[in-house]
Homo-oligomer: A and B are copies of this chain.
């Protein structure tokens, strides 16, 4: 299958069009496509480094609209930096839900039909699952899903996978511990989907009882013959894994049950003791923002890769924007 023959596939030819019209969900990406995108992302490290000595012009004259119906400064700035590092320009809206005609009752589809007239690419963050797909269905320009509610956040999944590739050097034959809020965490769910593209992957789920990984992902992994197990022993998992992917327990999911939140929150903390058992080549990732689920004394450890991971978001987004607008 496509998933096991990367070596037989020729690289995309420069100038040919990107196979995707929009970036909507992690499932759009098979391993060949991921590999090719990751090569472009790595080239983007050089484009970015050179930008202050010689501004890039690859997207000169292109205009990206960032429509954020739900504020997310980190994601928005990452996309806008990506566009500008490539020489493109940005129209921005920080809080479209409150400020736009959506407040007057306009449908998302109507907003998209208008905004596509003003730009060449739409980056959409929305509070409703499926919003990005609805936008892409009416838009005649590319749409990138920058997170749609409990749904997808595909560029985060790509940057997570890219970070493992960059930090560990491979995506086959790795052991990954997913830690924290596995029930609500959009990122760990998408990452599990993408890891299933690779062979020899073993996934450990380490989650408080109230936020355990849901069955649909477990069944999906089974269907792809991906080995997984649940564990309550973070130290044991950390000592085994190449990657410990920690996540924040999301208070907003607990409603009035602050007691449950507090119990879940303190259960699995990545601290110096965890780092002591982590293998020398292994890394700790986190999608950020972080509260106290990774203690700050871990930050100076070279295996603390979460800020490098955030930076990789820039390269992945530069790659995707360039590919959607200019092709390979």
- Residues of A that sit less than 8 Å from B by CB: 51-56, 60-63, 65, 71-74, 76-78, 80-81, 84-85, 89, 91-96, 98-101, 103-107, 109-111, 113-115, 117-120, 248, 288-291, 296, 307, 310-311, 314, 325
Contacts and interface: CB of A to CB of B under 8 A. Distances in A.
| Copies of this chain present | 3
B114 A100 contact: no
Q: Please give me the 8 A-B residue pairs with the lowest Cβ-Cβ distance, nearest first.
A: A55-B61, A106-B289, A71-B99, A73-B100, A101-B289, A81-B118, A117-B311, A51-B61
A73 B56 CA distance: 29
Contacts of A73: 93, 96, 99-101, 111
Given A51-B61, A61-B52, A61-B53, A91 B84 contact: yes
A101 B74 contact: yes
B95 A94 contact: yes
A79 to B, nearest CB: 9
A92 B91 CA distance: 10
Interface centre among A72, A94, A114 (most CB of B within 10 A): A114
Given A99-B95, A314-B118, A61 B56 contact: yes
Contact of A106 (B56, B288, B307): B288
Contact of A65 (B71, B77, B314): B77
A117 B316 CA distance: 13
Contact of A114 (B63, B110, B119, B310): B310
Nearest to A100: B73
B77 A91 contact: yes
B77 A118 contact: yes
Given A53-B61, A61-B53, A106 B290 contact: yes
A53 B59 CA distance: 9
A258 to B, nearest CB: 14
Contacts of A84: 63, 89, 91
A120 B288 CA distance: 21
Contacts of A117: 307, 310-311, 314
Nearest to A138: B299
A61 B48 CA distance: 9
Nearest to A308: B117
Given A77-B93, A307-B113, A101 B288 contact: yes
Given A110-B288, A111-B289, 8 more contacts: A53-B61, A54-B61, A73-B99, A73-B111, A76-B93, A80-B91, A105-B289, A106-B291
A314 B118 CA distance: 7
A113 B299 CA distance: 11
Contacts of A61: 51-56
Contacts of A55: 60-61
B93 A290 contact: no
A296 B65 CA distance: 24
